[in-house]
Each structure stands twice: as C-alpha cells, then as structure tokens.
Homo-oligomer: A and B are copies of this chain.
Amino acid sequence: MPEAASAQSVRATIGDSEFDRDTAVTRRASGVYDTELSAGWTVINAVNGGYLLAVLGRALADALPHSDPFSVSAHYLTASRPGPAVIRTEVVRTGRSLSTGTASLFQYDDEGQEVERIRVLASYGDLGALPDDVRTTAAPPAMPPMDQCFGPQDAPAPVPGGSAIADRLLLKLDPATLGWALGAPSGKGEMRSWFGLADGRDTDPLALLLAVDALPPTAFEIGLSGWVPTVELTVHVRCRPAPGPLRVSITTRNLAGGFLEEDAEVWDSADRLVAQSRQLASVRLA
C-alpha cells in the first residue's frame, strides 16, 4: 500500500472517532436521550464546556428536522461530571429553513436528585443550502505556521491547565500568546491556536461547538490564574468547515465587575470564517 494511503487509513473519520463516540446520544423516548459524559474531555476535573455543547448539539440535531447548528446559546447552571446524563429536548418551532429547540442536560447529584447542568436554546438549519456569497471584511488571524506553534506536548513540564482533553486535541498555540505558560503573560486578552482533533478526524459543525471553547482562557494572558467558569456561551456556525486544521482566535476586551467576555473566531483551511462565538465568564480576581 502506498505510504500516503496507509497514513490516510489510520486517520479517524467523521462518524468513527473519539469525538463521535464520546458525544454519542441514544434516544430513549421521543425527545429524551441518554449519554455518558467522558472523562476524556476534562480540564483538571471540569468537563469542558465546548464538549458538553457538542453533546447537546448532537441531541438537538436528532430532535429537530434540520441537522446543522446555526445559533446555539448555552447557559451553564451547575458543574457537570463525567458519567451518565440525560438530555431532554423540546421542539419550539419548525420552519422551512430554520428550526428552533431547547435541550437540557441532567445528572443525579450525591443525594440521587436530578440536577440540571446546562440549558440550551438553539436554531438549526442546513448549511449546505446557503448561498455561496462571501462579502466578509473579517481577516484570518495572523499567526505562524503550525510547526512554529506549540502545544501541551511541547512543554518541558506539564502545562498549567493541561488535562485529559489535551490528549484528544491538536492544539498548537501562537507563541505570541504563550507568555502565560512561561510566567510572563502579555497582559493582552488574546489567545490564538491551530485546532484539530488528535485522531485526525476532520471537523464538522458539531466539532466547531467544541473548537470555540477549547483554548486556554484569555484570562491567563491577562495575568489571571484560576478558574474562569462560563456563565453563557453563544456560537454561530456560519459555514461547514473544509478539511484540515482550523485556526481559532479568542479575544477579551472587557474585564470588569468580576466578569469578562471571550469572543472566538474559527477559520478553516479555505480561509472561511466558519464560526463566531461569545461567552460571558466569571473571574475570581486575585
């Protein structure tokens, strides 16, 4: 077998990958889904918010007549834990080009009480049906090629915040936004990284829900350490990503009153702005 074909054959594919297995949902009844939150997508002990959004996004893709997330708003209520969870969806409206629904993820607490972890409100459509006009003025982030960027695997010692999720992602951060890892944060609320799935699976709209919340928090480069829990995260998926690595740029401009916003842009290998997101997060000032 030629080497190229061989290399190709070991790459995971959409539908058969860690990400697909770990975001799988099983319909138990109309609108109700069982899932198992994997410990493989945790940061320290917290389940990553983008991974959770992808799990909920997959349930909504099944519950709604449209399969692509266009606008997904998530409010994070209580901290999710690896293990079983139930997702309950409601179809709010079905239209010709857009459908809207809600999804809630529940887990049992130590007392056996069902606790809601996340509530999502989302509109879905068909990205393939959109016209191909592009009149964007946004430009891809200026960042070095991937081989001049650095990921958790390149660190001499474990990176602060390095965690199980690091094994599942291909993250290569722009060295200009890596000061925090060397004890010298730039003071600017910027983080830029190449992004992919470690097993080589190409990205798709569901994976974009993961990509927008996969980088270390901008707060690290501002010079804050510690936990920056997401209160709310809204993602707009604007285009189906082309195969190949993505570039993700996140920016914080307004840290005030114990909260900050984190804006993400995701660009694909064809230089299309494929997703935009904003989250409101709470910060604990030192």
Contacts and interface: CB of A to CB of B under 8 A. Distances in A.
Given A131-B285, A280-B71, A136 B255 contact: yes
A93 to B, nearest CB: 5
Interface in A185-237: 188-189, 222, 231-232, 234, 236
Given A100-B119, A121-B75, A70 B131 contact: no
A78 interface: yes
B253 A137 contact: yes
A102 B119 contact: yes
A258 interface: yes
Interface in A114-147: 116, 119-123, 127, 130-138
A77 to B, nearest CB: 5
A80 interface: no
A188 B137 contact: yes
A257 B234 contact: no
Given A130-B259, A256-B238, A93 B77 contact: yes
A258 B75 contact: no
A52 interface: no
A98 interface: yes
Contacts of A121: 73, 75, 102, 119-121
A217 to B, nearest CB: 14
A23 interface: no
A175 to B, nearest CB: 21
A14 interface: no
A48 interface: no
Contact of A273 (B119, B236, B256): B256
A257 B238 contact: yes
Most B CB contacts (10 A, CB to CB) among A75, A92, A189 go to A75
21 contacts: A73-B73, A75-B121, A77-B100, A92-B116, A119-B121, A121-B121, A127-B257, A131-B258, A133-B257, A133-B258, A133-B285, A134-B256, A136-B256, A137-B254, A138-B253, A236-B261, A236-B280, A239-B256, A253-B273, A254-B276, A256-B272
Interface of A: 70-71, 73, 75, 77-78, 92-93, 98, 100, 102, 116, 119-123, 127, 130-138, 188-189, 222, 231-232, 234, 236, 238-239, 253-259, 261, 272-273, 276, 278, 280, 285
